[in-house]
Amino acid sequence: MKIIGGLVFHEGRGFIKETLYTEGGRFSLSTSEDTILDAENCYVIPGLVDIHFHGCAGHDFSDASPDGLPAIAAYQLSQGVTSICPASMTLSPETLQNICKCARDFSQESSTNGSRLVGVNLEGPFISNAKRGAQNPDYIRQADFTLLEQLQECAGGLVKLVTLAPETPGAIDFIRQVKQSELRDISISIGHTQSDYDTAKKAFACGADHVTHLFNAMPAFTHRAPGVIGAAFDSPDCFVEIICDGIHIAPSAIRAAFAMFGSERVVLISDSMRATGLSDGNYTLGGLNVQVNGKHATLEDGTLAGSVTNLLECMRCAVSMGISLENAVQCATITPARAIHIDNDYGSLEAGKAADFLLLDKNLTLVDVFKDGEKVDR
């Protein structure tokens, strides 16, 4: 395919009007294919990569349902998210094993009707009860290397992230053990935590390299107690997630996070739950009751329970808050791909990578979605 007339995204260079080529489902330097796509008056950006969300379209990843994942993937692809790494919740080991097996089975299917599943994000159960947020306290447990081994085996190697509260007993030793084992490629993410600066900094020094939804479910950043946020800032190899739905974090804090960490380290996530794409009403998240009203999804006590926003909407929201389009695109594509080590194949428009791309008009409305060089029927 030859894609002509569009403003093509380049990391660090912005948007350049040039011709883009695909061949056999991959980006290429030239093409023998006859198809020409006119992208005049459109931005051409990589397919989005969401590495932290729970569900959408009435389904939750934690349902471990063979019918649920295809519906989740179909919705995500229709919204421009071509690669997904859905998140589990704090649940029983048996349930987590079933979730991982379901993900493994789905990833092995050759369906072209949905986003590709590129990983599993274990958001729990190794978290702090005091900062559990919308997680079930009955299943919180101390960090357990054997359980992580079992879950990775069930997932067929798909586990990419695991959230950890580093102040909990055995957590620092767990990080060391993971990083000295065959599980070393799993990113350990600090989150749902009461950790102070020193403990978090030690966790990063031992191998943690990610923060679960920065600002949310952790101590505030203050001038005498910088906490996890300060420790992450002082750890240059650490990625930080941001839920940019207009609800979880104030616009000024979004701008501050980008100023602190830069688009090379900020990962936009949706953290969406099953009500995403549906109407207001009563839903569940991790077995807990959730009330959805507009953009707010809350537990009965008012605790925020994920978002009802997809990643494309989060990207647009970031732009509306003053983040440049170039930076917002980077943080929804190549940066999350790097965070979970899939950037050799996904996240940018470079030759050799999967030909996943979107056309957006000048108002950032989604015009078309392409996965593996094929137009998606939305």
CATH number assigned to the domain comprising residue 12: 2.30.40.10
**Distance between CA 266 and CA 162 in Å, rounded?**
18
* Side chain identity at residue 312, one-letter code: L
The total domain count for the chain is 2
Residues 242 and 162 in one domain: yes
Residues 25 and 61 in one domain: no
Residues 323 and 356 in one domain: no
CB within 8 Å of 262: residues ≥ 6 apart: none
Helix (H, G, I), strand (E, B) or coil at 189: strand
- pLDDT score of 182 more than 70: yes
Residues 183 and 254 in one domain: yes
Angle formed at CA 196 by CA 214 and CA 126, multiple of 5 degrees: 65
Residue 306 pLDDT: 87
Residues 30 and 63 in one domain: no
Per residue in 308-350, pLDDT tens? 999 999 999 999 999 999 999 999 999 999 999 999 999 999 9
**Distance between CA 123 and CA 99 in Å, rounded?**
12
Residues 120 and 10 in one domain: no
- pLDDT score of 192 more than 80: yes
Residues 56 and 104 in one domain: yes
- pLDDT score of 110 more than 70: no
Residues 201 and 89 in one domain: yes
* CATH number of the domain to which 271 belongs: 3.20.20.140
Residue 109 pLDDT: 83
**Distance between CA 256 and CA 239 in Å, rounded?**
15
**Distance between CA 15 and CA 8 in Å, rounded?**
5
271 belongs to the catalytic site: yes
- pLDDT score of 112 more than 80: no
Residues 21 and 91 in one domain: no
- What average pLDDT does the segment 258-284 reach? 96
- pLDDT score of 134 more than 80: yes
Helix (H, G, I), strand (E, B) or coil at 190: strand
**Distance between CA 158 and CA 101 in Å, rounded?**
10
**Distance between CA 294 and CA 151 in Å, rounded?**
35
Mean pLDDT value across the chain: 96
Per residue in 147-175, pLDDT tens? 999 999 999 999 999 999 999 999 999 99
Residues 24 and 163 in one domain: no
- For the entire predicted model, the pTM comes to 0.96
Q: Which residue is catalytic, options 63, 209, 245, 271?
A: 271
Q: How confident is the model at residue 81 (pLDDT cuts 50, 70, 90)?
A: very high
User: Six-digit token pair at 358?
Assistant: 């979107």
Residues 31 and 89 in one domain: no
- What average pLDDT does the segment 50-61 reach? 97
Residue 28 structural domain: 1-46+347-378
- pLDDT score of 123 more than 70: yes
Burial of 213 (0-12, 13-18, 19+ CB in 10 A): buried
Residues 278 and 361 in one domain: no
